[in-house]
Each structure stands twice: as structure tokens, then as C-alpha cells.
Structure 1
Amino acid sequence: MSRAQSYKEGEAAASQQAEFNTGSKVRSERVALLLLSALLAAAAVVIYRLSFAHFQTNKNLQTLKDENEAMRKNLTEKLSELSSCTSEQLIRPKPAEAKTTGLCPTCEPGWDQHGGSCYYFSSYKLTWDQSRSVCKVQGADLVQINSKEEQRFLDDKVGGKGSLIFDWFWIGLTDSKEAGRWLWVDDSPLNTSLSFWYKNEPNNWTEENPAGEHCASMGAQGGATDLKSWFDRSCDFPQRSICEKAAKTG
């Protein structure tokens, strides 16, 4: 073999080796790039999952906070409602149907609540019998007064609702069955220690009606003293009235 031929063969071999080395390098770089891409994709998946888990955790925490705030608000409202109940409201329900289980009694719009009862002060004037019928239509009856506290409550209300000095209200007390024997609408006798007759009342005055005065009302005639604001009147005289019924509980 001549020297020139040997030289050419050497160059060819060197060229092939160089191409082989270049190809190997390219393949290695491609493998490394693919491996790096795979690692980045895996990292992205891990980061996404961690971010989603963090988001869910924050969302759950916020939900728990909202629920806790709602429960706290509801508890505050319930405590406020209960604190508005006086000891009389919870201990002395009247009538008997108003007995509670520790919850505040409530009344319909237009009715005033006191203790375990609801009271309606009429704005129209009717006879005693007519007034009682109107009360019954509303599931009530003319008011029956059983305590000094109740009398004070009604006396204050009547004083605020009466527009005239002789603007009286019928109550559920009458001696129409037997003169001088005053009975409440449930036929229970009047307790003389819990009567609040105005001075010189009852007097059974016959000038207004020869049949006399056999129904009781309350109001103010020159100003009541010591809660004494009851008057006997002719049952046929038209005047306002006070209805009473048991408060609802819930």
C-alpha cells in the first residue's frame, strides 16, 4: 500500500470516528433533555397537587370558620332572647296554658306581652258583653288580674293608651249574677286583697242606668293612687276593653 493511500484511509477513519463521537454526544444530550423534561413534568405535577391540597385545606378552614361564626351568632341571639325574659316570664306564667319549658313567651303583632300572657287594648267602644265576645273570637277573654305586678303593668298601659280622663277599659270582672259578689270571667271570686277599686268604688250608681253598675272597668279619673283604678259601670255602657290570652312559647 502506498503512503498516499494509507493517508487517505487514516483520514476516513478519523472522520468516521468524529461523526460517531458527535452522534453519541447528540444522543446523550437528547437523553438528558428528555430526562430533565420528565423531572420538570413530575415536579409540576407534585407542585400542582400540593397547591390543590393547600387550597382545599384553606377552603375547609374557611368553611369551618364560617360555620363557627354562624353558630356563635345564633348562640348570641338565643342568649339575648333568653336574657330578655324576666324571672316573672319564666316562673309565673298566667293563665295556666302559658306554662313554658324555659323559653320566652311571645305574642302576635298588636298584642302587648307581660309574664305568660298577651294583652290587647281595643280601640273601639262596645258593651261589656260585646267586648267579651270580640275577645273570644281572638282566642282570648276579658282580662283577669291576679297580681299587683299585673295591675301595675295594665295601669301603666291604660295611662299611655287612654286619650281622655274618662277613657276606661272593660276588664273581666262582674257581679251581674249576684249583686255585690264580684266574679272573674272564669267564675273565680275576686280576692279582696288583690282588688284595686278607686275610692268609694264600687258604688252601683243608678243615675246612668236604673239597673245599676255590675261590670268593672279600669282607667283614670283625676289620677289613680296606689294602682287603684277600678270602677263599676253599667254593663251596657260602650267603652274600650282589654283582652287577655296565653302567650305562645317557642
Structure 2
Amino acid sequence: MMSCPQSFIEGEAPDSQHAKSKRGSKVTTERVALVVLCILLAAALIVICCLSSDKIRTNKELENLKHHKMKCESNLTESLAKIKSCSTVQPTCPGPKVINGPCYICEEGWELHGGKCYYFSNNKSSWNESRDQCRAKGGDLVKIESREEQTFLERRLRDVMTEVQDKFWIGLTDSAVEGRWVWVDGSPLNESLEFWSKGEPDNWKSEHPDGEDCVRMGEKGGAKDLKCWFDAVCSKPHRSICEVAGFGGQYACVF
């Protein structure tokens, strides 16, 4: 009797086992690939969700910025309308009101008048020392250039003078050439703008042999026709009037 090979008796043929092993390996690889693909899809989905969330948040911030911009523009329009329709215009600095014109500002302690700033000192010094003090403040002893300016100073001194003999140096002298009166800027005295008190200048030499070469002003009780200038010894201590040009300001509406 013919006998069967041992391999057929004990089980499947070798080729069948090998094919089965290959199929199992293929299924495992496909499963791994599917798992990896699922992971990648899940990661992509997470990224898409995050980007969508950022985009939504960015769009919301843009909307808020647009709303804020519209609100600012509205407030600006209202403010401009108020400024244009403002009927009460006041200067941000003192001085005479000039519609649509400039005004002038003085530093603290100075008084504004006619575009100039004046400082009425309390210290008594010689004419030269007084001038140095004015220069240290950025100005010089006052130069009187109009009757209106003399009127202002003559009346203002009545208020700041403390006694009858309280006088103020001004920037006028004939120390270079006797009788030739010049202002501190070197310009000659205009004869139409002289405000000498009666009998002045007299160059009185009883106090000093060089006479009286500097000018002081002021009458506590007031002066007739503004005539309150006196020549005096330059070394005598008096108060003084400093002058400097005012610096520009602007008018603005005050609500």
C-alpha cells in the first residue's frame, strides 16, 4: 500500500502556510497605515479648528477696532463743529482781544502791554546794575516808543510806587555825549516823544561832579501831560523797569 507524505498527514502544505502568513502581514500593515492616516486626519482637523478659532477672534477684534474708529471720528466731528460754532472766543494768554489774530504771553512776574512784557523791580540799584539785572532776565531797561506806552507806564507806576521818592530807571542816557540822549539800543531820543518834567534835564552836579547822565521816571500823585522824566546821577540806587518782547500765543474756544 502506498503511504502519504508526512507533511500532508500532519497538516497543510508549506506553500499554504506561507501564503497565509503573507496575508496576515498585509492585513497588519494596512491596519497600521489606517491608524496613521486617522491620526494625521485628526491632527489636521485640530489645526483647522485652531485656525478657524484664531480667524474668528481676529475678525472680532477688527470689528471692535472699526467700531472704536467710528466713535473717535464721531467725537472729532462734534468737537470741530463746536469750535467752528463757538461764539465766545477767549485768548489763552492775556492782552487785548483781536478776532482771528495773535496774542502774546509773558513769563511769570512780567506784565503784558501792547505786545511787550514789563518787569517792575522791587530792588534798588544803580542804572548800570539795573540794566545788568534786566539783561539777566532776557530783556533790557525799557525803551519808550510811543505816547500810549508812556501813558501805560506813568499810570502803572502810580500803583507800584510805595513812596513819593520811589523812582524807576528807564533805558535812556547821555553818558557817552553830554546832551545827546540815546536809548539802550543806541537809537536817539525822538524829540516828539520827550516827557521831561518841568526844568529837566538840568544835569545838576551838586551830588556828583559828572552830573546827571541817566533817566528815571515816576510821580506818585500823577504827572501833568505825562511829564515825569528826571535826569539823575547814574550811581544812585533806584528801582527799574525792564522790557522784553512778548512771545506769541493763540486764541482758543473755552467751553
Residues 201, 79 of structure 1: alpha-carbon distance in 2 compared, 3 angstrom cutoff = same
Relative to structure 1, is the Cα distance of residues 161 and 249 closer, same or farther in structure 2, using a 3 angstrom cutoff? same
Matches of 1:198 and 1:240 in 2, distance apart?
Answer: 18
State the Cα deviation string for residues 76-100 of structure 1 (Å, max 9, x = none). Answer: 498311897538x89xxxxxxxxxx
Q: Which residue of 1 aligns with 2:237?
A: 238
Q: Which amino acid aligns with 1:194?
A: L
In the alignment, the residues of structure 1 paired with residue 231 and residue 117 of structure 2 have an alpha-carbon distance, to the nearest angstrom, of: 24
For the residues of structure 2 that align with 1:112 and 1:139, how far apart are their CA atoms? 14
Q: Distance in 1 between matches of 2:77 and 2:164?
A: 56
Any residues of structure 2 matched to 1:34-45 within 5 Å, and which?
A: none
Greater alpha carbon shift after TM alignment, 176-185 vs 59-68: 59-68
1:107 maps to amino acid: C
Q: Aligned pairs, how many?
A: 184
Residue 228 of structure 1 deviates from its aligned partner by 0.7
Deviations 1:24-63 (A, max 9, x none): xxxxxxxxxxxxxxxxxxxxxxxxxxxxxxxxx9x99987
Residues 125 and 239 in structure 1, CA contact (< 8 A), matched pair in contact too: yes
The 1:65/1:157 distance shift into structure 2, 3 A limit, reads farther
**Residue 81 of structure 1: which of 58, 80, 91 is its match?**
91
Q: Which has the higher helix share?
A: 1
Quick one: distance in 2 between partners of 1:230 and 1:109?
28
| 1:131 counterpart SS class | helix
Pair 1:72–1:144, CA change in 2 (3 A): farther
Match of 1:180 in 2: 179
Distance 2:104 2:78 in 1: 27
Question: Does the alignment pair 1:227 with 2:220?
Answer: no
- TM-score if structure 2 supplies the norm length? 0.63
Equivalent AA in structure 1 for residue 153 of structure 2: L
When the two chains are superposed, the root-mean-square deviation of aligned CA atoms in Å is 3.1
SS at match of 1:80: strand
Aligned to 2:61: none
* Displacement after TM superposition at 1:211 (Å): 1.8
Whole-angstrom CA distance in 2 between matches of 1:126 and 1:68: 57
Task: Name the residue aligned to 1:19.
Answer: none
- 1:153 aligns with 152
Q: Identity percentage over the alignment?
A: 47
What TM-score, normalized to structure 1?
Answer: 0.65
TM-aligned CA deviation for residue 223 of structure 1: 3.5
Higher relative contact order (CA 8 A, sep 6+): 2
Give the 5 Å matches for 1:138-217: 138-217=137-216
The answer to whether the Cα contact below 8 Å between 1:82 and 1:103 also exists between their aligned partners in 2 is: no
**For structure 1, which runs of at least 5 residues remain unmatched after alignment?**
1-56, 91-100
- Post-superposition offset of 1:230: 0.6
CA 1:83/1:171 → structure 2, altered by over 3 Å: closer, same or farther? closer
1:80 aligned partner, one-letter code = Q
Structure 2 alignment gaps of length 5 or more = 1-66, 250-255
User: Which one-letter code corresponds to 1:204 in the other structure?
Assistant: N
> What is the match of residue 131 of structure 1?
130
Greater Rg by CA:
2
In the alignment, structure 1 residue 112 sits paired with structure 2 residue 122: no
Q: 1:77 and 1:156, CA in 2 relative to 1: closer, same or farther beyond 3 A?
A: farther
More off after superposition, 166-175 vs 63-72? 63-72
Q: Is the 8 A contact 2:94 2:104 kept in 1?
A: no
CA contact (8 A) 2:93 2:104 kept: no
In structure 2, the residue matched to 1:40 is: none
